[in-house]
Amino acid sequence: MQLTVARVSKAHGLKGEVALDLRTDDPETRLAVGERLETVPAAVGPLTVTHSREYQGRWLVTFAEIADRNAAEDLRGTELVVEADASDEEDAWYPHELEGLRVELADGTVVGKVITLEYQPAHEALLIEESLPDGGTARTLVPFVLAIVPVVDVAGGRVVLTPPGGLLARDADAAVVDREDD
């Protein structure tokens, strides 16, 4: 399974350096000099890291195969990927490990399945496909934080949610409440 390490966001400077949007928590290892990264689309790579650095909160990388700004501009949107099976960290999962897991509430009610993990500016979010009581489906983004997703059981094929009221589409009708003035 391919794991996205980063996505090229733009060229930086004139000598082929690019700025990256990271998808890894270990950029020092994944972007070390000499690392060879496959790409999506595959025709662009593989790319070999010749220099990497963090600058103003962003990672900037130079590749042996990219000689100038024009070539760097052509990389915009390219994903840098590595082969990975399963995360070896506790409480850390790759998106492909989560995809397809059953989504349950704490009381065991099945509400749908995980479609993917999306990277948001503040934190990751699970994109789930809810099965609605009327037989339809809805796609819902659920913040992937311990308070809302307390259980991830890959071996058991499930994640457990404790969502606040109104987060799930199935709660849309229940979210409208009249309030009496005191």
Read off the pLDDT of residues 149-165 as tens digits, 9 standing for 90 and up. Answer: 899 888 899 999 998 88
Asked if residues 33 and 52 have their Cβ atoms less than 8 Å apart, the reply is yes
Where, residue-wise, is CATH 2.40.30.60 in the chain?
A: 2-83
Question: Where does the pLDDT of residue 18 fall: very low under 50, low under 70, confident under 90, or very high at 90 and above?
Answer: very high
The structure tokens listed for 4 are 């996205």
Task: Specify the domain boundaries for CATH 2.30.30.240 within the chain.
Answer: 95-171
60 pairs with which residues across the strands? 19, 53
Average pLDDT over the chain reads 83
User: Does 41 have pLDDT greater than 70?
Assistant: yes
The CATH number of 2-83, from 3.20.20.70, 3.40.50.2300, 2.40.30.60, 3.30.70.120, is: 2.40.30.60
What is the per-residue pLDDT for 12? Answer: 92
State pTM to two decimals.
0.54
> How far apart are alpha carbons 102 and 119 in whole angstroms?
20
Q: Please provide the CATH number assigned to the domain covering 95-171.
A: 2.30.30.240
Residue 86: closest CA among 155, 161, 7:
155
Per-residue model confidence (pLDDT) at position 182? 42
Burial 65-93 (b: 16+ CB within 10 A, else e): ebeebeebeebeebbbbeeeeeeeeeeeb
Tell me the C-alpha distance between 158 and 138, whole Å.
18
Q: What is the pLDDT of residues 50-108, one digit of tens each?
A: 999 988 888 899 999 998 999 899 899 888 887 765 555 556 676 778 889 999 999 99
